[in-house]
Structure 1
C-alpha cells in the first residue's frame, strides 16, 4: 500500500466519510511534498490502490483542483500543478500576510502540553536537517507550524494557510531534494523561545524569517522552467 493509502485508512464503501478521508490523505501528501509537480495522477490507479470506486477519488481530486493543487485537463489527464514565478510570488506573499499573524494570534492558546509538542516537532525538524532527510523535514516542519497555528480555533484561517502549503509543498520538496537542507537556518528555536516567553512580536518575526529562509533557496532561474523530481 502506498503513502496515500496509508494516510487515508479508508472504509470500503462510498460515503461522505470516505470521500473526506481520501481528500485529507491526498491533501497531506501534497502539503508534505510526496506528490511532485507535474506528476500524473491516475484516478483508476488510485482507486485500485485504495480499494474504492473511482467516484470518491474523482470527488477528492475535484476539490483539490478547485483549490489549485492539481489540474484536471480531461477525465484521464490529472496532474499536480506546476509552479510559476507569478504563482510562487503570490503564494509567498499570502504566507507572509497570514502565517506570522496566525502565530501571534495563537500564542495565548498555547499551553504547556502544546509547547512540549511544538518543541518535539522542532527537535524532529532539527534532526532531519542534520541528517539531510528531506521527507522527515517536510513532515516535521509542517507539524511544527500546524501545532502553532491550530492552537487558536479558526477553521477558516487555518484552512487558508494549509491550502497555500498544499500548493507550495510539492515544489519545495523538489527544491529541498535538489539543493539539500544543510543551508536552512533553524528559526524554530527562536519561535519556540518566543512562545515560552509569551513574546508575540518575536514569534511573528521568527515565522517571517522562517518563511524567508525557504524563499532564499529559490535560485535565479529556478522558476523559469518547471522543476523535475
Structure 2
C-alpha cells in the first residue's frame, strides 16, 4: 500500500511540475523531441495545421515553437504554412563532425573532473537500458537512451555555453541518425560509453574525451556512408 502511495505522489508531483511549465515551452519541447528523435523525418514537410493537430496546441504556441526551432536550424519554412526538417548534406556532415569533436570532447573532459558518483551511477543505469534497446532492436529507445547518456554527461560539465552549442548540433543531425538506425538496425551502432564510464570512474579527463570523440565520430560517419549510398533521407518514417 505504501508503495502505491509513493508512486501516486510521484505522478502527482510530475503532473504539477508540467502544469507550471508555460504552454509555449511545453509545445516547443514536444516539437523539439519530434525533430531530435526523427519523428519528423528529414525532407518531410508538415503543415502548421498538422502540428496543431499533432500537439493539441493553439496557433500561437505552435508559431513560437516553429520560430525557435527555425532559428536553431532544426526546421525550415517552405511557404504555404509548411515547414520541413532540413535534409542532411555531405558538407554539413563535415561541419557537424568538427563541432561535435571539438565541443563534445571538451564537455566530456570537463565532466570527468566534476561529475559525482551519483551521476556516474545514473549514466551506468542509462547505459544498461541502452544495451537492452540494442538487444531488442528498438531504435526509438536506443536514440532516446543514447541522448539521455550524452545529455547527463554534458550537463555534469557545468559549461552552459558549450552545452547550448551541443544541443543545437544534436538538433541538426538527430533526424538523420533516426533514418540510419531505421535501416541498419541497432547491432552495429557506435557505443563507446563503457570506455567513457571507466575513464569517469578514474577521473581521467583525456580518456573520457577520447571515448566520446570516437563515439560521436563513428555515428556521424555512418550518416555520411548512408548519404554516399543514396539512402532515401526524404522518405517518411512510419
Question: TM-score normalised by the shorter chain: which range applies?
Answer: 0.7 to 0.9
Cα gap change, 1:223 to 1:153, in 2 (>3 Å): farther
What secondary structure is seen at the aligned counterpart in 2 of 1:73? strand
State the partner residue of 2:64.
59
| 2:78 is aligned with 1:73 | yes
Normalising by structure 1, report the TM-score: 0.87
Cα gap change, 1:85 to 1:224, in 2 (>3 Å): farther
Does the Cα contact within 8 Å between 2:135 and 2:187 map onto a contact in 1?
A: yes
Equivalent of 2:116 in 104, 111, 115: 111
How does 1:18-29 map onto structure 2 within 5 Å?
Answer: 18-29=23-34
**Cα distance in 2 between the residues matched to 1:70 and 1:80:** 5
What secondary structure is seen at the aligned counterpart in 1 of 2:189? coil
Give the drift of 1:151: 1.0
What secondary structure is seen at the aligned counterpart in 1 of 2:84? strand
String of CA shifts for 1:128-163, please: whole Å, max 9, x gaps.
122211111100000000110001333322111011
Deviation larger for 178-187 or 137-146: 178-187
| 2:170 is aligned with 1:165 | yes
**Cα distance in 2 between the residues matched to 1:122 and 1:20:** 29
Gaps of 5+ in 1: 1-8
What secondary structure is seen at the aligned counterpart in 2 of 1:181? coil
Give the drift of 1:224: 5.4
Give the drift of 1:28: 2.1
**Cα distance in 2 between the residues matched to 1:23 and 1:146:** 18
Normalising by structure 2, report the TM-score: 0.84
**Cα distance in 2 between the residues matched to 1:226 and 1:82:** 10
Does the Cα contact within 8 Å between 1:85 and 1:224 map onto a contact in 2?
A: no
State the partner residue of 2:225.
219
Aligned residues: 218
Return the structure number with greater helix share: 2
Cα RMSD after superposing both structures: 2.2
**Cα distance in 2 between the residues matched to 1:189 and 1:77:** 42
Which structure would you say has the larger Rg?
2
What secondary structure is seen at the aligned counterpart in 2 of 1:162? helix
**Cα distance in 1 between the residues matched to 2:80 and 2:63:** 9
State the partner residue of 2:197.
192
Cα gap change, 1:122 to 1:199, in 2 (>3 Å): same
Gaps of 5+ in 2: 1-16
State the partner residue of 1:120.
125
Spell out structure 1 runs of 4+ moving beyond 6 A.
none
Cα gap change, 1:31 to 1:51, in 2 (>3 Å): closer
Give the drift of 1:24: 1.8
Equivalent of 1:146 in 145, 148, 151: 151
